[in-house]
Amino acid sequence: MTATRHGIDFSGASDAGHGIWIATAAADGDRLRIESCQSAAERFGVADRAPCLGRLVEFLRDATVAGLDFPFGVPADLHDREDWAGAVEWVTTVAHDADGFQRECKDRAESVTGGDRTNLPRETDGPVGAMCPYAQYVYKQTFHGIRDVLAPLARAPDVAVEPMGPPASDHDPDEQTRLCEVYPAATLAGLDLPAEAYKDSGGRARDRRRAIVDGLEAETAIEYAEGLRGRLVDDAGGDAIDSVVAALATHRAANADFEPDRPYDEREGHIYV
């Protein structure tokens, strides 16, 4: 039976629609055929962050299974909430913007560590080499991803954010949206494919993108719809490739019924690779 998987490479930039890419795939057993890969600006017809993220939420409400490339939580030491849902709501209220969110996280980290450290990882980050969720490179993705996309979806009774729940058995699987956090760099590294230096317009980066596209087909059960190979190689930002890898990680997670493969803190979230 064929199922649909979506992989989403996320951006928290002001023109987020150009940096968010969505890969849609048809899954049949282990096989995964990438049917389309588009920027959100192309798919939704808008690039500005607020309206684009609103359209993304609408898109995900109608999805069955999707993986998104941004941190789904923050280190538990930074908040006083008892569970992951509470931690998500903490992010939505702790600051008015991403810069304020980052400052609050750093201030709390300094307080927790006695000033020794400002960037604290989650339990799920270390084993896969992911950054601290509020580090300079990712804090806007974390803030806007959680506040503007994840929080409104997580409040819906028929959405399960894996592996925190609610359990899939609580709803008809065909009527439920299941979301998970993915990290394409870790998935690529696990396949011994280039996990860095493939995101610029130089010839070396292009060669690496081509190696990734070919390697995914050789090392996994991925296949591409006509014309997609060139699009993935031509996208100098690497966002198109990242969305395809996100779809692969999501497919793997769904085939394992989203069973975590390493320890994680339920208040922080779990990365699937």
DSSP 111: H
pLDDT of residue 174: 64
Residue 168: per-residue pLDDT: 53
Residue written as tokens 């998970």? 180
Which tokens hold the place of 188?
A: 């690529």
* Number of domains observed in the structure of the chain: 1
Whether 259 is covered by a domain: the verdict is yes
In a domain, 209, yes or no: yes
- Considering the domain boundaries, does residue 250 fall inside one? yes
Backbone angles phi, psi at 179, to 5 degrees: -115, 150
* DSSP per-residue string spanning 38-56: EEHHHHHS--SHHHHHHHH
User: CB-based contacts of 218: which residues, under 8 Å, 6+ apart?
Assistant: none
54 lies in a domain? yes
The range of the structural domain enclosing residue 157 comes to 3-73+147-272
Q: What is the pLDDT of residue 116?
A: 85
86 within some domain: no
pLDDT in tens, 97-120: 999 999 999 999 999 999 888 999
Q: What is the pTM of this model?
A: 0.96
End-to-end CA distance of the chain: 23
| Strand 177-182 versus strand 159-161 pairing type | parallel
Predicted pLDDT of residue 169: 54
pLDDT digits (tens, 9 = 90+) for 31-51: 999 999 999 999 999 999 999
The tens-digit pLDDT sequence of the chain (273 residues) is: 799 999 999 999 999 999 999 999 999 999 999 999 999 999 999 999 999 999 999 999 999 999 999 999 999 999 989 999 999 999 999 999 999 999 999 999 999 999 888 999 999 999 999 999 999 999 999 999 999 999 999 999 999 999 997 765 555 666 799 999 999 999 999 999 999 999 999 999 999 999 999 999 999 999 999 999 999 999 999 999 999 999 999 999 999 999 999 999 999 999 999
Q: What is the CATH number of the domain that holds 211?
A: 3.30.420
Q: Is residue 90 part of a domain?
A: no
Task: Say if 215 falls within a structural domain.
Answer: yes
> Is there a domain that residue 262 lies in?
yes
